């Protein structure tokens, strides 16, 4: 049974629950992680989780938002790197969370909550990629199609385990550097 603890701020408690869920989703997968298991890992009751998250899908979105925040901060630390190196870094970060990437794509078809998050994620990443392409000098009329190709390339690199040199070659071709 969870022990009594000092009163915590809502954001702090939510962050603890999200951290426990993120670790479990990464280790055993979303499907095999019950809310009770998250509660045990976060040292709270299952009811407590429902005070913060409407359901397991909302908890998943909380985890995804947290990880996206970490990804954006990490990407900012890569700002001095060439665009292809930044993209390779993003691919590596997403590969480390491949179970969640797969889960999001599977649930987006049946869950409005996850589909909404997924659509917003794509809108954000599409905008970021389009900005990078503009900086590389891609003509404005080619930016939308090149952005779409970029998304396909990154998703393909997540699915196919290519050596880093081949990943770089794909991304250099996309960026017009080859």
Each of the 178 residues of the chain gets a pLDDT tens digit; together they read 555 555 568 889 999 999 999 999 999 999 999 999 999 999 999 999 999 999 999 999 999 999 999 999 999 998 899 888 988 999 999 888 888 988 999 999 999 999 999 999 999 999 988 988 888 888 999 999 999 998 899 888 888 889 999 999 998 888 776 5
Indicate which CATH number applies to the domain containing 1. 1.10.10.60
Indicate which CATH number applies to the domain containing 123. 1.10.357.10
| 3 and 44 together in one domain | yes
| 88 and 159 together in one domain | yes
| 141 and 98 together in one domain | yes
**Domain containing residue 32:** 1-53
Determine if the pTM surpasses 0.75. yes
| 5 and 27 together in one domain | yes
| 78 and 36 together in one domain | no
CB 144 within 8 A of CB 130: yes
What's the CA gap between 77 and 25, in Å, rounded?
26
| 98 and 162 together in one domain | yes
CB atoms within 10 A of CB 41: 17
User: What pLDDT shows up at residue 7?
Assistant: 55
What's the CA gap between 74 and 54, in Å, rounded?
29
User: What pLDDT shows up at residue 29?
Assistant: 93
């Amino acid at each position: 049974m969870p022990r009594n603890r000092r009163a915590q701020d809502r954001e702090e408690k939510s962050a603890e629950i999200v951290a426990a869920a993120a670790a479990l989703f990464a280790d055993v997968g979303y499907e095999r992680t019950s809310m009770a298991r998250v509660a045990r890992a976060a040292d709270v009751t299952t009811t407590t989780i429902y005070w913060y998250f409407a359901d397991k899908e909302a908890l998943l979105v909380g985890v995804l938002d947290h990880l996206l925040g970490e990804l954006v901060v990490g990407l900012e630390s890569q700002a001095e790197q060439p665009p292809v190196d930044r993209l390779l870094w993003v691919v590596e970060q997403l590969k480390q969370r491949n179970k969640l990437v797969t889960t999001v794509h599977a649930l987006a078809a049946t869950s409005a909550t996850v589909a909404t998050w997924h659509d917003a994620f794509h809108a954000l990443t599409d905008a970021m990629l389009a900005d990078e392409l503009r900086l590389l000098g891609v003509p404005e009329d080619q930016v939308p199609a090149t952005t779409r190709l970029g998304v396909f390339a990154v998703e393909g690199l997540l699915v196919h385990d290519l050596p880093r040199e081949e990943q770089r070659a794909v991304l250099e071709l996309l960026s017009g550097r080859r």
